[in-house]
Amino acid sequence: MSLEQTLRAVAGRLSLREPQAESLRRLAAALDAVPALRDHKARDASDLAAMVEALKGQFPNLSDFERDFPSLCFALATGVGKTRLMGAFISYLNAAYGYKHFFVLAPNLTIYDKLIRDFTPGTPKYVFKGIAEFSVAAPEVITGETYEQRGDLVSQAIDAPVQINIFNISKINTEVRGGRAPRIKRLSEYLGQSYFDYLASLPDLVLLMDESHRYRASAGVRALNELKPLLAMELTATPFTESGSGNKGPVPFKNVVMDYPLAQAIEDGFVKEPAVVTQQNFDAAAHSAEQLERIKLMDGVRVHEETKVHLLTYAQQKGASGEVKPVKPFMLVIARDTTHAAALSKLLSVELFDGRYAGKVIQVDSGTTSGAEGDEIVQRLLAVESYDEPTEIVIHVNMLKEGWDVTNLYTIVPLRAANARTLIEQSIGRGLRLPYGRKTGVEAVDRLNIIAHDKFQEVVDEAGRGDSPIRLKQLKLAPPDGAGTGLRSVAVTPTLHTMLGITAPVAPAAGTPYVAPPAATVLYTGEQAQVAAIAMDVINDMSRLANSPGVPGAPADAAAAGGVTAPTTASLTLPEVQAELVRRVQARVTPAQGQLLPPAGPSVEEIVKQTADLVAQHTIDIPRILVKPKGAVSSGYRVFSLDVSRMNFQPQDQQLVGRGLQTGKELLYGQSSFVAERRPEDYIVRELIGFDDIAYDQHGELLYELAAQAVAHFRSYLGDDEKLHNVLANQGRAIADNIHAQMTLHYFEDPGESEVVVSQGFTPLKPGAVTADGDVLPLHQAPPDKSRIATLVYGGFTKCAYSYQKFQSDTERVLAVILERDARKWLRPVAGQFNIYYRRGADQPEYVPDFVAATDGLNLLIETKKAADMQTDEVQAKARAAAAWCEHASAFAAANGSEGWKYLLIPHDAVTVSATLSALTATYWFRTG
């Protein structure tokens, strides 16, 4: 396997994020370009200087190793995954060069314990998860506690295929009280030398320094020079040290080869979006210090409670498909000292909020973490991510230190004096990690809130400075007196489930300003409801079909399928289907359930038959359809004319750098030196073939055609070849990115002959959840502010399959009014309800229509769009995919005596209360032909 293949294999198996993968690529490039980096011979200062000079061409920010051995710094923002990157470095160096000895250094006990956990197989964040070689023979880990052990333990670790030593910096610090050498440097009778000398004698010892900014000036770092490692990698989120007495500001590291700042991590969606929070029109000077503190705490809890609702709603929306687990957020309060912390603990637990947070507040400081009770506090802190652990507020005197990595910190209330820059940099670090790994697209789920009433403008101004590491969002709360009923998560359950007693009915919010229609009658409770739930499961099973290839959606013969099936809800009313339902339910009902049914109530048979009848009445037959290619699928990129209008690069004599005004991100625009290609087109093609979706063997001719068009364009205004080669060499990547983006617009995929498979005749309705802000509104009531309709919840339906619904626009609400009047039943589908996918470049996203409705003799998929957007490529691609789905669904319906399907694409200005569903259907039926 080549080095490039090894690099890709490691990045793929460990599922590295792009900043991690780029860091690995830069390490590989450095080792490949400078063989002396991987040379086992002893080095002197002249060797180091020569290596630095050789690397400067690739890494402009590198000017010195700053150590007596080669050391490269990888600066990655907090939350991007530095520990995982360590695992990638070790995996690559072992696979590519056979290195087997690694020394991982931690700056404190917290990070030390975390590293040991993460390098231990079977733990949740095991760094080598996905590396097949290490699953067979896991690396042996030697720690600061186990290196002195005698016998087989250390012997096996030393002789292991890969050995990882994990030490706290204090273990190798030479400045020990009394002048004695640290234990690691004392003679070991078992080894015949000290463990330190054993490590220093290894020819392939690779050093990895976590949070390296923490011990750059310590005595322990001086001892690292005596280890004489082959190579070192430093990992940190803050690649600078404080200047000390001169107070000249931070001093940047001189050995940075990868700089991925926090602002870029936020923009790329790897960490939460920090926001500074205050009240609207708030005057801090009008309040005493004590009043201000109480206000900040109360508003912090207010934001915390709203965040809980958003997280619960998100989990309930996604939880039906098992995609996500619920997250319990917590709030961090930063106190001045232990006395202040104790007072805050009492205030939050007893005096405020009617004691609602009693038992949910922990105080973490030197006064509370000692003794037996202190052990309990520490355990609660370590378990704060657990959804079942009760802690919702953590009070801490100092900011929780590096290494305490949690994903559910969402609100920070700083009550300790600090300037704006310190507040920004120290407050956000521990709360940046995302619970789901990447942003969800739900702002409240992706946001970290910092309550800063008294320093709001100061923080905003500081964040807007050119040298600020971050740009903060601003969030202004309405005063408490002006708040409504507040946010809450509302379960959206199918009306059918409520009638059968499977899901308890949910009453509208208190103070609902309208008289809702009578709630659905609950037919069954207790054991009867359990029987109905079993009947629903059996009905779901019987709706799954064994398909006959070549017959569009027709179920196989019942005998061949091994029993009676229910291809449509109408078939649930047939005597033979109901008899089979009763037989299967009785087989599942436990004797206890059957015996506990009320004597005067319905029997199991009667419950099953009524359940089947209700399913037929309240369900729209949405089949599960899959279109499978029969043979090979051909795909690729069509020939097209390249748009070169935006490519106007100019030759450059030296490295150009810049800094984004919005993000503060350092930008590199190309290198001053380059390796000349024989053909100008080769500069572009060599970059294009690096994209994963471009195979040179298949697309080589097109690549050179597009490259030739670009070269002709540059030659038209550059003139001579020297300038042309300069532009192509320095801007080859940017040119390739532009061409690749255009190629995706011309991607095609032809499955050739295909077959339609219907695996289920109808799909059960999924429960969900929505976030409600205020009272539930009646459908006929237009929102006072139409721009806020997405925050409102509507109810009181008579024909909707769900108890509550939300709308993204008032056009959707008006269409729902029409459906309530003209349709037999309707609903707003959720993700996964249909298998409809449309083409968007090389991607195939899922498409979920706005509405599903059933009329007499016809089923409808309905989408409303702005009139101006009706002809856009994406809207038309969705429409074609939905119309094709309707054709397949109609073929299945015709084969099974059910209603056909049509897809309606309706412009927003056609949706009026006076419009009828039949007229909209006749006018806006979208056909594929």
- Evaluate whether residue 759 is within a structural domain: no
Per-residue pLDDT tens digits for 256-267: 999 998 878 887
Query: Encoding tokens for residue 656?
Result: 């150009």
Query: Are residues 234 and 187 both part of a single domain?
Result: yes
pLDDT at 425 over 70: no
CB-based burial, 648-679: b 16+ in 10 Å, e otherwise: ebebeeeeeeeeeeebbbeeeebbeeeeebee
Mean pLDDT of 632-657: 72
Would you call 256 helix, strand, or coil by DSSP? strand
Report which listed range, 501-505, 615-619, 695-699, is most confident: 615-619
Query: Are residues 381 and 526 both part of a single domain?
Result: no
Residue of 559 and 784 predicted with greater confidence: 784
pLDDT value for 928: 76
pLDDT at 788 over 90: no
- Owning domain of residue 720: 635-750
The CB density around residue 904, as the number of other CB atoms within 10 Å, is 26
- What CATH number is associated with residue 137? 3.40.50
CB-based burial, 560-579: b 16+ in 10 Å, e otherwise: eeeebbbbbbbbbbeeebbe
pLDDT value for 837: 85
CB-based burial, 417-449: b 16+ in 10 Å, e otherwise: ebebbebbbbbbbbbbbbbbeebbeeebbbbbb
CB-based burial, 487-526: b 16+ in 10 Å, e otherwise: bbbbbbbbbbbbbbbbbebbebbeebeeeeeeebeebbee
Q: What percent of the chain has pLDDT over 90?
A: 29
Last residue of a domain, one of 242, 260, 278: 260
Query: Encoding tokens for residue 98?
Result: 């056979």
pLDDT value for 345: 93
pLDDT at 739 over 70: yes
Query: Are residues 832 and 860 both part of a single domain?
Result: yes
Per-residue pLDDT tens digits for 484-542: 446 677 778 888 888 888 876 554 554 544 444 455 678 888 888 889 989 999 998 88
Give strand ranges (E) for 525-679: 624-629, 634-637, 657-659, 666-668
323 pLDDT band, cuts 50/70/90, is low
pLDDT value for 481: 52
Query: Are residues 10 and 123 both part of a single domain?
Result: yes
Last residue of a domain, one of 244, 260, 276: 260
Query: Are residues 667 and 612 both part of a single domain?
Result: no
Would you call 349 helix, strand, or coil by DSSP? helix
Per-residue pLDDT tens digits for 446-459: 988 888 877 656 66
Query: Encoding tokens for residue 344?
Result: 């805050």
**In terms of residues, how long is the chain?**
929
Per-residue pLDDT tens digits for 702-724: 999 999 999 999 999 888 888 88
- Evaluate whether residue 357 is within a structural domain: yes
Residue of 318 and 497 predicted with greater confidence: 497
Output the 3-class SS for 466-511: CCCCCCCEEEEECCHHHCCCCEEEEEECEHHHHHCCCCCCCCCCCC
Least confident of 648-662, 782-796, 880-894: 648-662
pLDDT at 330 over 90: yes
- Evaluate whether residue 490 is within a structural domain: no
42 pLDDT band, cuts 50/70/90, is very low
Query: Are residues 463 and 500 both part of a single domain?
Result: no
Mean pLDDT of 650-668: 43
170 pLDDT band, cuts 50/70/90, is confident
Long-range contacts of 320-323 (CB under 8 A, 24+ apart): 320/766, 320/767, 320/768, 320/830, 321/766, 321/831, 321/832
243 pLDDT band, cuts 50/70/90, is low
769 pLDDT band, cuts 50/70/90, is confident
pLDDT value for 554: 41
The CB density around residue 862, as the number of other CB atoms within 10 Å, is 27
pLDDT value for 592: 59
List the one residue out of 275, 156, 206 whose CA is nearest residue 40: 206
Adjacent-strand bridge partners of 451: 277
* Rounded Cα–Cα distance for residues 764 and 542 (Å): 12
pLDDT at 327 over 80: yes
Query: In sequence order, which residues have a C-beta less than 8 Å from that of residue 97 and are 6 or more positions away?
Result: 31, 38, 204
* Rounded Cα–Cα distance for residues 414 and 430 (Å): 13
* Rounded Cα–Cα distance for residues 705 and 788 (Å): 50
pLDDT at 5 over 70: yes
Query: Are residues 215 and 111 both part of a single domain?
Result: yes
Is 836 exposed, middle or buried, given 0-12, 13-18 or 19+ CB atoms closer than 10 A? buried
- Evaluate whether residue 234 is within a structural domain: yes
pLDDT at 25 over 60: yes
- Amino acid identity of residue 864, one-letter, is T
Query: Are residues 23 and 143 both part of a single domain?
Result: yes
Give strand ranges (E) for 761-803: 768-773, 777-778, 794-795
* Rounded Cα–Cα distance for residues 795 and 854 (Å): 19
pLDDT at 651 over 70: yes
Query: Encoding tokens for residue 197?
Result: 């000398």
- Evaluate whether residue 50 is within a structural domain: yes
pLDDT value for 102: 95
* Rounded Cα–Cα distance for residues 813 and 912 (Å): 10
pLDDT at 659 over 50: no
- Evaluate whether residue 758 is within a structural domain: no
Residue of 444 and 926 predicted with greater confidence: 926
In the predicted model, what is the mean pLDDT of the chain?
Answer: 80
Query: Are residues 203 and 111 both part of a single domain?
Result: yes
- Evaluate whether residue 489 is within a structural domain: no
* Rounded Cα–Cα distance for residues 694 and 688 (Å): 7
The count of structural domains within the chain is 5
Q: What is the DSSP string of 243-255?
A: -GGG---EEE-SB
Query: Are residues 710 and 818 both part of a single domain?
Result: no
Residue 573 backbone dihedrals phi, psi, to 5 degrees:
-90, -5
pLDDT value for 461: 61
Per-residue pLDDT tens digits for 528-586: 888 998 999 999 888 887 544 433 444 443 333 346 888 899 999 999 999 999 999 98
Query: Are residues 464 and 566 both part of a single domain?
Result: no
Cβ atoms of residues 753 and 631 within 8 Å = yes
Mean pLDDT of 767-790: 82
pLDDT at 356 over 50: yes
Q: Could you tell me how far CA 408 lies from the centroid of its own chain?
A: 13
1 pLDDT band, cuts 50/70/90, is low
Mean pLDDT of 193-219: 83
- Evaluate whether residue 929 is within a structural domain: no
45 pLDDT band, cuts 50/70/90, is low
Mean pLDDT of 681-685: 90
Query: Are residues 464 and 415 both part of a single domain?
Result: yes
Last residue of a domain, one of 727, 750, 773: 750
The CB density around residue 643, as the number of other CB atoms within 10 Å, is 14
Cβ atoms of residues 225 and 209 within 8 Å = no
